[in-house]
């Protein structure tokens, strides 16, 4: 009746961190590990997590961040390699067309699909009349 399931809490032995989730606890343990392989290229900071490095550069060295060349994309990158990868994965078609905005790109894709469907329909009708 009055039996409740107690929530297990994971507590770090090295600091005051606590969490009910084992995955978050395991991730937190990396903070205390000696493996810190994300170095700031602009100052001596070294961090365990890439997202911490990105936040550091965005806050401390904002002028060093590389802005995505697509006008409406807010992406900021740490390196030219990261920016090139982002553009390749997210804007490849737009890059070929000169970085049009997302809405215009969507309209172009829709129009190209309609044209393709129309051509396929016309070809099918033409073949049926033969």
Specify the long-range contacts of residues 90-96, CB closer than 8 Å, at least 24 apart: 94/70
Count of structural domains within the chain? 3
For residue 43 the two structure tokens come to: 């100052």
**The pLDDT of residue 110:** 72
What residue numbers bound the domain in which 51 lies? 37-99
- When pLDDT is averaged across residues 41-61 and rounded to a whole number, the result is 89
**At residue 126, does pLDDT exceed 60?**
no
pLDDT, position 3: 62
**Position 37 confidence tier, pLDDT thresholds 50, 70, 90:** confident
Query: Angle at CA 80, nearest 5°, toward 74 and 85?
Result: 70
Do 41 and 90 reside in the same domain of the chain? Answer: yes
41 assigned to some structural domain: yes
Nearest CA among 38, 73, 42, 35 for reference residue 57: 42
The pTM assigned to this predicted structure is: 0.46
Alpha-carbon distance 45 to 38, whole Å? 8
């Amino acid at each position: 009746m009055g039996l409740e399931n107690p929530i297990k809490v994971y507590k770090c032995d090295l600091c005051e961190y606590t969490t009910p989730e084992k995955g978050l606890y395991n991730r937190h343990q990396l903070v205390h590990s000696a493996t810190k392989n994300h170095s700031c290229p602009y100052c001596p900071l070294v961090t365990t997590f890439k997202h911490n490095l990105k936040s550091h550069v965005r806050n401390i060295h904002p002028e060093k961040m590389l802005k995505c060349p697509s006008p409406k994309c807010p992406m900021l990158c740490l390196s030219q390699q990261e920016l090139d990868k982002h553009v390749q994965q997210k804007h490849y078609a737009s890059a070929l067309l000169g970085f049009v905005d997302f809405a215009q790109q969507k309209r172009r894709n829709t129009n190209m699909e309609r044209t393709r469907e129309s051509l396929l329909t016309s070809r099918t009708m033409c073949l049926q009349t033969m």
